[in-house]
Homo-oligomer: A and B are copies of this chain.
Amino acid sequence: MLTAAATARNILPEMKDRSAGIVVKGSRFAPSNFIGLMGITMHFERGAEIVAEEDPAEYVYQVISGTVRTCKLLSNGRRQIGAFLMEGDYFGMEARAVHCFAAEAITDATIHMINRNTAFAAAGRDPEIARALWDITARSLDACQQHSLLLGRKTALEKIGSFLTEMAERQGSHAEIDLPMSRQDIADYLGLTIETVSRTMTQLECAGTIALPTSRHVLVKRRQELARLSAC
């Protein structure tokens, strides 16, 4: 299957290094809105690969709707998910010429793609764009650093606690969480197995900290308790 970058290369050969490609007006999602003014928007079905590992890093991506995971496989099939990306989040803004992480749509997703060279060229002319590109990268770094802490030094219970707290915050709802990702995705994000994720969620439900009306729908009963478990 063709990845998004490969597809866009066919659609937009003439876009390279021009500062304005197909214009998408009034994007609400860019940290500074002008970044949303260049590039194209594409739709991906649940499960579709947006970026493959080792794809040339030609684009920066912003999630307009849906949820995306970035992931990397190790030799023996183990998988690490680097991040879950939701409305407004950027990905693919990395130092290397090829992407180290693949990106896949967890749900149907709308993604805005900006040519990297175009973005860097625009940054060369406009300091605000340069600063916006730096912000995107620095935010990814911040998220990655927090995640390292979790992976290196937290117990299964603390990992799940942190994860649910993070998801609640990102959804702007403190009592109700919708999980677009599977238990396996959560496990690969937290460095656990699917069984441990499942057991720990059950444990939190038994303790009355959360309720699980369905496996993808979490009600936070004792928010304080969950925050305490995060052990930051």
Contact = CB atoms under 8 A, between A and B. Distances in A.
Contacts of A75: 231-232
Interface stretch (A119-127, A197-205, A208-216): A119-127
A10 interface: no
A82 B142 CA distance: 11
Interface string A188-229: 101100000000000000000000000000000000000000
A28 interface: no
Nearest to A189: B152
Nearest to A81: B152
A1 interface: no
Given A134-B133, A141-B140, A153-B74, A148 B80 contact: yes
B95 A138 contact: yes
Contact of A191 (B138, B141, B145, B152): B152
B134 A130 contact: yes
Contacts of A82: 145, 148
Contacts of A127: 123-125, 127, 130
A153 B95 contact: no
A78 interface: yes
Interface in A126-162: 127, 130-131, 133-135, 137-142, 144-149, 151-154
A95 B144 CA distance: 12
Given A131-B123, A134-B134, A142 B78 contact: no
Contact of A130 (B100, B130, B191): B130
A80 B142 contact: no
